[in-house]
Amino acid sequence: MTLLTTLSLLSIFLASPVVAQTWTSCNPLNTTDCPTDPALSTNHTYDFTTSSIGTTWNATAGSLKYSQTAGAYFTIATRGDAPTIQSKYYLFGGEVEVWMRAATGTGIVSSIVLQSDDLDEVDWEILGGNVTHVQSNYFGKGNTTSYDRAIWHPTSFQPQDDFHNYTTRWTKDEIEWYIDGASVRLLRSAEANGGKNFPQTPMNVRLGVWAGGDKDNPKDTVDWAGGQTDYDEGPFTMSIKSVRVKDYSEGKEYIYRDMTGSWDSIEIVPGNSTALKTLNAPPSLTASQRWNKLSPGGKIGVGSAVGVTSVALIVLAALYCVRQRKAGRRERAMADLAFERERTELSAYQMQMAKGNFAVSSKPF
């Protein structure tokens, strides 16, 4: 990325009260120096009611809170908040299934986004002020010359009231969107401008909530989001119980072989991905589990060491008490000596006063 591009991106972020989920740090259509995309290369479910986002996600804006009933809380508490997480891995074809309760609030947007480095994009967007519809959308290579790709899907429920399943299935030839297991939209590659606008490069997953209705956003954005956001009505919270992610490809990482951004230009590097190793790593043992795995001899050794350490601590504590008692006696003796000296000086002072040996100055102080 050039310095000019970096500064331009930074200025956009600083000027905007929100950080949207859709951006790229390096576009492979513009340079050959972009880093490779680490692959997920597996199927994994994240249960946010029992654990945090872990080490395979980045919190790119804001922070999350968790509960055992509602999972991860993405909360806009004040203007400028836009809590978002982004997967460190990429999918090259795959499925993303999210159990979400959308945030309330006029202008508040709850988002599930798949996006590639060259700005291919597949979305779910749910508006806090729309209780009857949710939106699916897609973009190819960041092409925003038209906004006729979005479709609003009617629901028999209010998305802000309870958790529902929003799933995206993506292959080389088609993308399908599901709500609670029922297909609501199918997009074939040829229908996206003859395939030119069809998302076809490795994508990561981004989940977040943002204020599309912020007063500093473009009027079209505020209108699309349902109107201007009143932050005094907040906080506004999107909740996600779980996320299931499946990568249809298997490999260590994905590489753009050229600057076309086509499906066939992507190279799948063989090997085990970092994400796969991390997710398959055995959990850390608790203290009791580590104890149970010790041999009888090992347990005796640990017990002996603990016993010796305990005795040593007891001896040290006793020595400390003795030293403190000695120090206390010395301090008491010194205090008694000082008291006797002060009492002697006071007696001498009283005797001098009685003899009238002290003069009183007539000069003012």
Distances (CA, A) of 348 to 151, 337, 352: 103, 17, 6
Residue 302 pLDDT level (bands cut at 50, 70, 90): low
Which pLDDT score, from 0 to 100, does residue 18 have? 34
φ, ψ for residue 155 (rounded to 5)? -125, 155
**Looking at per-residue confidence, does 168 or 63 come out higher?**
168
Q: In whole angstroms, give the CA distance from residue 137 to residue 144.
A: 12
CA atoms within 13 A on the CB side of 315: 6
User: How many whole angstroms separate alpha carbon 89 and alpha carbon 38?
Assistant: 5
Confidence of residue 194 (pLDDT cuts 50, 70, 90): very high
Lowest-pLDDT range, 40-49, 240-249, 258-267, 309-318?
309-318
Distance CA 56, CA 63 (A): 15
Determine the pLDDT at residue 354: 42
Higher pLDDT, 341 or 258: 258
Predicted pLDDT at 201: 98
pLDDT at res. 133? 98
Tokens (6 digits) for 172: 């080389």
Nearest to 214 by CA among 123, 108, 325, 298: 108
| CA 222/CA 74 separation, integer angstroms | 21
Residues annotated as part of the active site: 121, 125
- Distance (Å, whole) CA 304 – CA 310: 10
Which residue would you say has higher pLDDT here, 215 or 359?
Answer: 215
SS3 365: coil
Name the more confident of 320 and 144.
Answer: 144
Cα separation, 144 vs 334, whole angstroms? 86
Q: How far apart are CA 365 and CA 361, in angstroms?
A: 9
**Section 242-271 average pLDDT:** 97
The answer on pLDDT for 81 being more than 50 is yes
Interval 161-189 mean pLDDT: 98
Residue 347 pLDDT grade (very low, low, confident, very high; cuts 50, 70, 90): very low
**What is the reported pTM?**
0.74
For residue 323, which phi and psi values (nearest 5 degrees)? -65, -40
